[in-house]
Amino acid sequence: MKLITAVVKPHKLDDVRAALETFGVTGMTVTEASGYGRQKGHTEVYRGAEYEVDLVPKVRLEVVVEDGDSADVVDVIVKAAQTGKIGDGKVWVTPVDTIVRVRTGELDGDAL
Amino acid sequence: MEGMTLMEINAGDTAWVLASAALVMLMTPGLAFFYGGMVRMKSVLNMMMMSFITIAVVTVMWVLVGYSLTFAGDTGHVIGDFSEVGLKGLMATDSVSGSTPTLAFVAFQLMFAIITPALISGAIADRAKFRGWIAFVVGWTLLVYFPVAHSVWFLQDGNGGWIGDKLKAVDFAGGTAVHLNAGAAALALAIVLGKRVGWKKDPMRPHSLPLVLLGAGLLWFGWFGFNAGSALSAGTTAAVTFVNTQAATATAVIGWLIVERIVHGKATTLGLASGAVAGLVAITPSCGAVSPIGALILGLAAGAICCFAVSLKYKLGFDDSLDVVGVHFVGGLFGSLAIGLLGTAAAPSAVNGLFYGGGFTQLGKQALANLVVGLYSFTVAFILGKVIDKTIGFRVTEDDEVTGVDQVEHAETAYDFLGASGLRGALSARPAPAETENGTTTEPAEKEGVKA
């Protein structure tokens, strides 16, 4: 199994979620995040005092899938989240050892 | 002869003065929101507390000795006397001030005595000990506000307070007595307490601009009581000062935003709120002295000047956190001097400024009054601040400041965001364990929100 983590623009979350649902992904975890990559922050001015706001708001979306689906799911996310402008985010994949469904104790594939 | 100089009580005047007192009262909570929104999340409660506690402390002082020291009799043209301590004798039906019961005037003037020290608190955001602030309010109000207000507003046929009655500098509603006075003290306290940890390095963005705008709106509303109420009657003077107040505030907003747009690239909400307050400050001394067109000009200039003035602290290196100097000192001084320029004898205060053929006479009087009050307020505030700092302490420790004055000084937090996400109890706050007699603690029988 793979853990797919995507950091995307907040306003693309709905598109990504819809695309994943259509693909057949049944659940995900979403958290508000902030950070920066090539897209730097912005400047704010308060009574003439300028502040560099380095961290840009993003959402972080996590999905665990079977090994075989991993490449397709990454593809779905990238397509849905892409605007072509700087700051679209990143997607990365990490291996997962074990998954347990808390309610039933089911393991791994059954727990997805 | 008794009753010879007394006027009849006028119901309309009394109603307006009492309503104005309530309007001015609302300005101090408004100030609490205005200031509270501008500080960081960890010190909003302390910021608002500094305004609210001033209402309580100064009210007690005013009833006991403040009114008497400010408006009962005259001692050396700088202060009153003790003849009306405890508001003695003022309940009598023949106790009249102008055309209102004396107690209506007492209530109205009390609200000025409250907001003036409260204004100073903006200079020492994020870092003041609560008890240090209370000590300062008591000392400064007694040593500075009462004598200055007496000097400006106690009139007795040319033999009252030296500024208003002898020098005849004009200060209709408190540009000198309130705003420049508070601004000078604010500069002193910013220097005594020193810069906040991380000043100019860490971001100190306002935590809630909607609160700032709410506060600015309440101040603007209450200010009609402050200025038009200072007519102390419900007639032409009140109407003129009402319109002038609105006119100057409108152009001050525009003036601030224009400068901001040119210098910094964007018109901001904080700029709008600040411009409004700068305009209100500047028209305070002058609302009875200028024409409505004069008020438009005065406001525009005040907004622009104060917008430049708030950047001075970075060049001069003092951490006047919420720009009490840039807005109240500079705005009050400018509004007061502007009487010497834009004053017209056709207005209620009846003085001609430079642009109306009055020469430099009035300008000189305005300058002298502000110079003396500014120096006096700064000096006393500086010494008083130092004394408080060396005795009971005025500034929290660096650790406490970094943690936040709300937690350290008041054992509270303004916002419970974890509670909003359903994590209350688990991550946010639990009931503190009750202490038992032998000093050990026991867990409370029930956790908050959990029924046994």
Domains located in chain B, CATH noted:
11-400 (1.10.3430.10)
Name the average pLDDT for chain A.
91
- Chain B residues within 8 angstroms (CB to CB) of chain A: 203-206, 260, 263-266, 268, 270-271, 274, 307, 310-311, 314, 323, 326
Q: What is the dihedral of CA B133, B61, B182, B259, to 10 degrees?
A: 90
Residue A48, min C-alpha distance to chain B (Å): 6
Q: Which chain B residues are closer than 8 Å to A44 by Cβ?
A: 205
| pLDDT, averaged in runs of 10, over chain A (112 residues) | 95 94 92 86 85 87 94 96 92 95 89 83
**Residue of chain A nearest B275, judged by CA positions:** A47
From the options 2.60.120.1090, 3.40.50.720, 1.10.760.10, 3.30.70.120, give the CATH code of A2-111: 3.30.70.120
Beta bridge partners of A7: A60, A90
- Which residue among A46, A48, A53 places its CB closest to the CB of B206? A46
Q: Which residue of B has its CA nearest to A47?
A: B271
Partners of B203 on chain A (C-beta within 8 Å) are 51, 53
Two structure tokens written together for B250: 């409108």
Structure tokens at B341: 């320029």
Residues of B within 8 A of A53 (CB-CB) are 203
Q: What is the pLDDT of residue B443?
A: 52
Q: How far is A31 from chain B (nearest CA, A)?
A: 12
Q: What is the pLDDT of residue B426?
A: 53
Helix (H) or strand (E) holding A93: strand A89-95
Residues of A in Cβ contact (< 8 Å) with B274: 47
Nearest by CB: B268 against A45, A51, A53? A45
CA B57 to chain centre: 15
Assigned token pair, B237: 């003077």
Instruction: Compute the distance between CA of residue B44 and CA of residue B179 in angstroms, rounded to an integer.
Output: 23
Mutate: best of B205, B306, B314, partner A, most A CBs <10 A: B205
| Per-residue pLDDT at B246 | 98
Find chain A residues with C-beta within 8 A of B206's C-beta: 46
Confidence (pLDDT) at B430: 67
Mean pLDDT of chain B: 92
Residue B364 vs residues A103, B341, B371: alpha-carbon distances, Å? 83, 10, 10
> Is the Cβ–Cβ distance between B103 and B12 less than 8 Å?
no
Q: How do the domains of chain A map onto residue ranges? A: 2-111
Q: Measured between CB atoms, which of B204, B205, B310 is closest to A48?
A: B310
> Cβ distance B282 to B335 under 8 Å?
yes
Sheet with A29-35: strands ordered across: A29-35, A56-65, A2-8, A89-95
Residue B360 above 50 pLDDT?
A: yes
Where residue B210 falls (left for φ over 0; alpha for ψ -120 to 50; beta otherwise) is alpha
Residue B250 has pLDDT above 90, yes or no: yes
* pLDDT at res. B451: 47
**pLDDT tops 60 at residue B24:** yes
pLDDT digits (tens, 9 = 90+) for B394-428: 999 999 999 999 999 999 999 987 666 655 555 55
Mean pLDDT computed over B319-334: 97
Q: What is the DSSP string of B79-94?
A: B--STTGGGTTTTSTT
What local confidence, expressed as pLDDT, does residue B428 receive? 56
- Rounded mean pLDDT of B368-396? 98
Residues of chain B neighbouring A48 (CB-CB closer than 8 A): 260, 263-264, 307, 310-311, 314
pLDDT in tens, B437-449: 565 555 554 444 4
In this prediction, residue B270 has a pLDDT band, given cuts at 50, 70 and 90, of very high
Q: What pLDDT does A56 receive? A: 87
Which of A45, A49, A51 is nearest residue B266 as measured by Cβ atoms? Answer: A45
Q: Which of B18-32, B72-86, B409-423 has the lowest mean pLDDT?
A: B409-423
Min mean pLDDT across A100-104, B263-267, B419-423, B431-435 is at B419-423
φ, ψ (nearest 5 deg) of residue B264? -115, -5
pLDDT tens-digit map of B161-217: 999 999 999 999 999 999 999 999 999 999 999 999 999 888 789 999 999 999 999
DSSP conformational letter for B422 = T
Q: Which residue of B has its CA nearest to A54?
A: B203
